[in-house]
């Protein structure tokens, strides 16, 4: 007889890419325990990604800027409830300070493989029972999709290349000239270009835009994460450095090409069946050649 699990506390990770890679665990838990409400521990950077999750309960934010990195404030809220199951992918000891009947943490995980998703899924392997690992997920509503449509209204055709040339880590940045040259090389395939990123990455998107021959929209700083997901859902291919947007694009089921430098693709490649990559010979994405990128895009099924 299957155990009755009606309440779950899910302790997630902080950055956008990691958050996206934990969503297969959420989906697997929902499949296993469809009647359970799942409360989530997140932070301000990524909590919006859970906004429309249909089986989500409360979201508890861990504010690392507060005393003891926000743990005391978080516990004050999370300890008000007793959970049938606590799943902790962060494992800084927080799970064992909350009230639960059963705990699954990183300390006892049995990974499926070397990829981060396979590592995270290993935390719940005993309840997942080695079934197929779900896709990554971003939950959208018509509101985000309508907003994306309005942003893309002036782009001609329907075959669009999405580029995310910026990154807070300069080691992950591929040159803006290369992004423009890559897009221009495929001007007979794509009818337009979508440039996206944060407000702080606007100078990179503008540098690419100045050299594009294709029509384009520059959305840097104009979309939140859900709106960016709705935009990327309309694209035919995403190209960018190792970042959260690449993981969001893969969750939207579009092909991705990621430029890796400081991280290993076998560990953090966007989780999806049509994810491609190029790696630098050192820690700098700028040393990945334009020729290699053109050749790689040429063999992707777009």
The three state secondary structure string of 50-94 is: HCCCCCEEEEEECCCCCHHHHHHHHHHHHCCCEECEEEECCCCCH
Supply the pTM of this predicted model. 0.93
Asked whether this chain's domains 7-128 and 142-299 adopt the same fold, the reply is yes
DSSP output for the chain: ------EEEEE--SSHHHHHHHHHHHHHHHHH-TT-EEEEEE-TTTGGGGTT-TTEEEEEE--TTSGGGGHHHHHHHHTTSEESEEEESS-SSGGGGSEES-EEEGGG---SSSSHHHHHHHTTHHHHTT-PPPPP-----HHHHHHHHHHTTTS-SS-EEEEE---SSGGGPPPHHHHHHHHHHTTTT-SEEEE---GGGHHHHHHHHTT-SS-EEE-TTS--HHHHHHHHTT-SEEEEESSHHHHHHHHTT--EEEEESSS-HHHHS-SSTTEEEEE-SSS-GGGS-HHHHHHHHHHS--
CA–CA distance, 51 with 49 (Å, rounded to integer) = 6
Least confident of 32-36, 62-66, 94-98, 102-106: 62-66
Q: List pLDDT tens digits, range 36-95.
A: 999 999 888 899 999 999 999 999 887 655 444 445 666 666 667 889 999 999 876 777
Which pair of tokens denotes residue 275? 């994810």
Report the mean per-residue pLDDT for the chain.
Answer: 92
Name which CATH class applies to 142-299: alpha beta
pLDDT at 108 over 90: no
* Phi-psi group of 92: left, alpha or beta (phi > 0 → left; psi -120 to 50 → alpha; rest → beta): alpha
User: Taking a C-beta distance cutoff of 8 angstroms, is the pair 120, 23 a contact?
Assistant: no
Q: Where are the domains of the chain?
A: 7-128, 142-299
CA–CA distance, 268 with 134 (Å, rounded to integer) = 16
pLDDT at 217 over 60: yes
Q: pLDDT at position 68, please?
A: 41
**What is the CATH architecture of 7-128?**
3-Layer(aba) Sandwich (3.40)
Q: List pLDDT tens digits, range 122-161.
A: 999 999 987 899 999 999 999 999 999 999 999 999 999 9
Q: pLDDT at position 71, please?
A: 58
Q: List pLDDT tens digits, range 185-199.
A: 999 999 999 999 999
Q: CB under 8 Å to 188, separation ≥6 — which residues?
A: none
């Amino acid at each position: 007889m299957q155990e009755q699990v009606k309440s779950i506390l899910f302790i997630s990770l902080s950055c956008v890419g990691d958050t996206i890679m934990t969503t297969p665990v959420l989906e697997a838990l929902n499949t296993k325990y469809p009647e359970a409400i799942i409360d989530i521990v997140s932070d301000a950077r990524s909590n919006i990604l859970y906004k429309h999750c249909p089986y989500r309960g409360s979201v508890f934010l861990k504010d690392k800027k507060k005393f003891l990195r926000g743990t005391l404030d978080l516990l004050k809220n999370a300890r008000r409830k007793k959970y049938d199951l606590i799943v902790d992918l962060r494992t800084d000891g927080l799970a064992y300070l909350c009230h639960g009947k059963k705990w699954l943490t990183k300390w006892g995980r049995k990974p499926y493989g070397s990829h981060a998703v396979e590592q995270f899924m290993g935390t719940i392997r005993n309840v997942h029972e080695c079934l197929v690992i779900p896709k990554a997920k971003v939950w959208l509503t018509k509101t985000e999709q309508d907003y994306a449509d309005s942003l893309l209204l002036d782009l001609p055709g329907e075959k669009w290349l999405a580029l995310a040339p910026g990154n807070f880590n300069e080691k992950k940045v591929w040159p803006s000239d290369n992004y423009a040259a890559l897009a221009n090389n495929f001007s007979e395939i794509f009818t337009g270009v979508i440039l996206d990123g944060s407000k702080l990455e606007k100078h990179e998107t503008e540098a690419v835009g100045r050299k594009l021959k294709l029509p384009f929209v520059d959305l840097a700083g104009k979309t939140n994460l859900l709106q960016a997901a709705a935009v990327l859902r309309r694209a035919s291919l995403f190209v960018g450095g190792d970042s959260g947007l690449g993981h969001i694009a893969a969750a939207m089921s579009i092909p991705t090409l990621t430029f890796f430098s400081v991280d290993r693709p076998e560990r953090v490649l966007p989780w999806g069946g049509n994810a491609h990559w190029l790696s630098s010979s050192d820690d700098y994405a700028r040393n990945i050649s334009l020729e290699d990128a053109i050749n790689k895009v040429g063999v992707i099924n777009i």
